[in-house]
């Protein structure tokens, strides 16, 4: 074995785009954990909620009133509330799997009233899914599906805190949004909307509606993501010179379609047209403000199919009135729908559409299928490639790690039950011993499961991949990770995992290792998780059922003595293993039991003279 090379890293709490694990069968036929399944108390809650339902939720595509859901729901199926219009193909997919309640145009109060009866909620941009919705769900809501890209209408922090996965449909409306951006660009340049309205009003104003040409003009794209790059491609086809500003975009990708990445300053000062395609975030909120408009070329034209909030709308009115901005074309507004007296909507140099970027037949069918598949997968506990508030674990990594995931949770459960008092844990270190290079072993999933194992037995929260880091942080538990690089074949992802809890006392003092921490170690053997070390004692017991740990004087007859107490009480022993430091001194016996022994049985074990300490642990 090579010298250990530990690389410690504190548990990160950043959120990445993700995949969630599917319940693939373990080698022994049991299901690997599905990270979004309801814990028992939530299931009980859900059953209770269902029992209180006057009638099952509607399965009809028509608008159902929240007060009187239509009948026809199939018991045992999850319930999906579709709160905004969704394409038929997506609804058909959802109905194969779930009871689908299409209730469009719910008020916030109606949504809150309904949500505790739903396992998933699907919305577009018109429904605000705030903290109040997650709180009102009472823990039942497991997935929010955003049938589109922008998730600024969903409170991601609240979703994460409630362990609710948020998925979106990131690709199906890209082309529609880009086409709408180009439609607005060209319509604005040639005054199409104004001229159309004027002609319909009986006027023939050929001189008033002289436009501007696009060829040779500079278009600055702010936000060079999916929509921005598709707009760029199309604008190039119109003969425009296209530049883009995006702090996170790759210059190679831009170059590949003939676009130069420039600074915000350069984009502002050189563009004849500016098209907005960034998400609405605290950083982009009111990004186009008085200061930004002051830098722009006089007569610039603005297109916004991103989010209304990225423009300071009052500042845009001022820029239009002063002539800095010659025209604007807007699909999105800070408040939707905008007030009837909204100055931008009424401005003669502004072309507006009511958030139609994603509204093509094709895009809506695509989005509906994309979101239905994501929501169904998430409800099954499967991979969700478009999740936005949990870490990504690719499918192949997941299947390889599946037995270690089970081991991780069980080690967390064991370790916390060894703490005297069952609380007050502040510092946990997880050691992964592996022959894999550190960047070839993704441990986020394992860390989440250890956190689940550590926290669930001592609290009422349920922990999943979505909220594990948040929950640990909130409870003041610092989880650090350490890697031990082993020699040997990197085929096995992990040789062993150790969980160390520092600065606590143990109700089974033999679990305290030489370093003064409660330490448990486990390995996967033939696909089955095993406990291989407790404190300084080597043991080997399969982590199934429950466990009794005894420390005793190492002498003959101990296995028989404990075994016969359990046998008398009809408690079946599945495994037994004895670990000792030196012969005839002290030993730790780990006994796997299928049933939970009664208190009197445990008391009898404690009365065996050579038993010095013992503990019963539920796995």
Ligand X SMILES: O=C(O)[C@H](O)COP(=O)(O)O
Ligand Y SMILES: NC(=O)c1ccc[n+]([C@@H]2O[C@H](COP(=O)([O-])OP(=O)(O)OC[C@H]3O[C@@H](n4cnc5c(N)ncnc54)[C@H](O)[C@@H]3O)[C@@H](O)[C@H]2O)c1
Between 76 and 115, how does the x/- string for binding to ligand Y read (CB under 6 A)? ----------------------------------------
Give the binding-site size for ligand X (rule: CB under 6 A). 12
- Rounded CA-CA distance 187/181 in Å is 10
Query: Active site includes 595?
Result: no
Q: How far apart are CA 100 and CA 93, in angstroms?
A: 10
Reference 145, options 352, 371, 329; nearest CA is 371
- Rounded to whole angstroms, the Cα distance separating 196 from 176 reads 23
Based on the shown chain and the rule CB under 6 A, indicate whether residue 509 belongs to the binding site for ligand Y: no
Q: Is 90 in the site for ligand X (CB under 6 A)?
A: no
Asked whether 224 and 244 are in contact (CB, 8 A), the reply is yes
> Which one of 33, 139, 148, 522 is in contact with ligand X (CB under 6 A)?
148
Residue in 355, 436, 444, 551 annotated catalytic: 355
Q: Does 225 bind ligand Y (CB under 6 A)?
A: yes
- Taking the complex as a whole, how short is the minimal distance between the CB of residue 14 and ligand X, in angstroms? 23
Partner in contact with 185, chosen from ligand Y, ligand X, none, beta carbon below 5 to 8 Å by kind? none
Q: Is 28 a catalytic residue?
A: no
Q: Does the active-site annotation cover 307?
A: yes
Min. distance of Cβ 278 from ligand X in angstroms? 12
Closer residue to ligand X (CB): 276 or 358: 358
Instruction: Give buried/exposed letters for 523-534 (b at 16+ CB in 10 A, else e).
Output: bbeeebbbbbbb
Does the N-terminal peptide bond of residue 337 adopt cis geometry, omega within 30 degrees of 0? yes
Quick check: 246 binds ligand Y (CB under 6 A)? yes
Which positions from 273 to 312 touch ligand Y by CB under 6 A, shown as an x/- string? ----xxxx--xx--------------------xxx-----
Given 124, 307, 444, 447, the catalytic residue = 307
Give which of ligand Y, ligand X, none residue 119 binds (C-beta under 5 to 8 Å, depending on kind).
none
User: Which one of ligand Y, ligand X, none is in contact with 398 (Cβ closer than 5 to 8 A by kind)?
Assistant: none
Nearest alpha-carbon partner for 549 in 618, 486, 485: 618
C-beta of 56 vs 150, nearer to ligand Y: 150
Each residue 127-156 as x (binds ligand Y by CB under 6 A) or -, in order, gives ----------------------xx------
Please tell me which residue in 96, 336, 568, 596 is annotated as part of the active site: 336
Consecutive H or E run containing 111:
helix 108-115
Cβ pair 24, 395 in contact under 8 A: no
The reply on whether position 181 binds ligand X by CB under 6 A is no
143 part of the interface to ligand X, by CB under 6 A: no
Q: Distances in Å between the alpha carbon of 427 and those of 85, 98, 161?
A: 48, 42, 21
Longest dimension (CA), the chain: 109
Is 519 within 8 Å of 535 (Cβ atoms)?
yes
Residue 270, both tokens: 């050189």
**Which one of ligand X, ligand Y, none interacts with residue 397, CB within 5 to 8 A by kind?**
none
Q: Which of residues 325-344 bind ligand Y (CB under 6 A)?
A: 331-332
Nearer to ligand X, 22 or 125 (CB): 125
Chain positions 344 to 373 lying near ligand Y, rule: CB under 6 A, are: 355, 357-358
Span near ligand X by CB under 6 A; candidates 190-198, 351-359, 414-422, 608-616:
351-359
Q: Does 248 bind ligand Y (CB under 6 A)?
A: yes
Q: For ligand X, which residue has the nearest CB? A: 148
| Encoded tokens for 34 | 């599905």
What contacts 24+ positions apart, CB below 8 Å, involve 600-603?
A: 600/569, 601/565, 601/566, 601/568, 601/569, 601/571, 602/548
Of the pair 152, 613, the CB lying nearest ligand Y is at 152
Query: Rounded distance, CA 158 to CA 193, Å?
Result: 41
Residue 124 interacts with, from ligand X, ligand Y, none (CB under 5-8 Å by kind)? ligand X
CB-CB neighbours of 62 under 10 Å: 9
Q: Which of residues 520-539 bind ligand X (CB under 6 A)?
A: none
Please report the DSSP string for 420-452 in residue order: GGG----EEEEEEEESS-GGG---HHHHHHHHH
Q: Is 595 exposed, middle or buried (0-12, 13-18, 19+ CB in 10 A)?
A: middle
Cβ nearer to ligand Y, comparing 84 with 409: 84
CB of 320 to ligand Y, least distance (A): 20
Place of tokens 């038993």: 611
Binding site for ligand Y (CB under 6 A): 149-150, 173-174, 177, 222-228, 245-249, 277-280, 283-284, 305-307, 331-332, 355, 357-358
Residues that are catalytic: 307, 336, 355
């Amino acid at each position: 074995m090579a010298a250990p090379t530990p690389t410690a890293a504190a548990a990160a709490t950043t959120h990445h785009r993700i995949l969630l694990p599917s319940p693939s069968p373990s080698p022994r036929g049991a299901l690997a954990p599905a990270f979004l399944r309801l814990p028992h108390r939530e299931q009980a809650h859900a059953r209770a909620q269902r029992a209180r339902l006057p009638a099952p939720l509607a399965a009809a595509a028509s608008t159902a009133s929240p007060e009187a859901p239509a009948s026809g729901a199939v018991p045992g199926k999850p319930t999906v509330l579709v709160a905004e219009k969704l394409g038929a193909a997506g609804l058909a997919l959802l109905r194969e799997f779930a009871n689908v309640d299409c209730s469009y145009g719910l008020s916030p109060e109606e949504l809150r009233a309904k949500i505790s009866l739903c396992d998933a909620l699907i919305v577009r941009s018109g429904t605000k899914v705030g903290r109040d919705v997650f709180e009102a769900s009472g823990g039942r809501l497991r997935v929010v599906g955003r049938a589109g890209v922008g998730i600024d209408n969903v409170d991601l922090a609240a979703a994460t805190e409630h362990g609710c996965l948020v998925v979106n449909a990131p690709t199906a409306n890209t082309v529609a949004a880009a086409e709408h951006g180009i439609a607005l660009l060209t319509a604005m340049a040639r005054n199409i909307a104004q001229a159309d309205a004027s002609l319909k009003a009986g006027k023939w104003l050929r001189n008033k509606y002289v436009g501007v040409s696009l060829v040779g003009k500079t278009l600055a794209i702010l936000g060079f993501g999916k929509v921005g790059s598709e707009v760029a491609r199309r604008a190039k086809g119109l003969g425009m010179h296209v530049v883009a500003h995006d702090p996170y975009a790759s210059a190679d990708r831009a170059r590949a379609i003939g676009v130069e990445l420039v600074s915000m300053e350069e984009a502002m000062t050189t563009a004849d047209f500016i098209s907005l395609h960034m998400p609405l975030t605290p950083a982009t909120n009111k990004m186009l403000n008085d200061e930004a408009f002051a830098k722009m070329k006089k007569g610039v034209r603005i297109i916004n199919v991103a989010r209304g909030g990225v423009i300071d709308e009052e500042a845009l009115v001022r820029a239009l009135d002063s002539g800095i901005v010659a025209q604007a074309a807007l699909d999105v507004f800070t408040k939707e729908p905008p007030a009837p007296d909204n100055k931008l909507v009424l401005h003669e140099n502004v072309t507006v559409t009511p958030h139609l970027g994603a509204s093509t037949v094709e895009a809506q069918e695509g989005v509906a299928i994309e979101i239905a598949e994501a929501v169904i997968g998430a409800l099954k506990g499967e991979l969700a490639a478009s999740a936005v508030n949990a870490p990504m674990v690719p499918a192949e990594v997941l299947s390889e790690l599946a037995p270690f995931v089970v081991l991780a949770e069980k080690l967390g459960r064991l370790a916390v039950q060894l703490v005297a008092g069952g609380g007050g844990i502040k510092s946990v270190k997880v050691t992964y011993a592996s022959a894999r290079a550190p960047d070839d072993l993704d441990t986020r999933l394992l860390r989440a499961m250890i956190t689940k194992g550590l926290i669930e037995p001592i609290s009422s929260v349920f922990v999943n991949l979505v909220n594990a880091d948040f929950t640990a942080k909130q409870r003041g538990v610092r989880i650090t990770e350490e890697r031990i690089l082993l020699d040997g074949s990197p085929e096995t992802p992990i040789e062993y995992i150790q969980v160390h809890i520092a600065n606590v006392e143990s109700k089974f003092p033999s679990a305290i290792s030489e370093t003064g921490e409660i330490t448990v170690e486990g390995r996967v053997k033939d696909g089955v998780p095993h406990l291989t070390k407790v404190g300084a004692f080597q043991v080997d017991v399969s982590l199934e059922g429950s466990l009794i740990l005894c420390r005793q004087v190492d002498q003959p007859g101990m296995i028989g003595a404990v075994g016969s107490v359990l046998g008398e009480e009809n408690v079946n022993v599945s495994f037994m293993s004895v670990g000792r430091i030196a012969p005839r001194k002290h030993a730790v016996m780990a006994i796997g039991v299928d049933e939970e022994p009664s208190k009197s049985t445990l008391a009898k074990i404690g009365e065996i003279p050579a038993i010095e300490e013992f503990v019963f642990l539920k796995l």
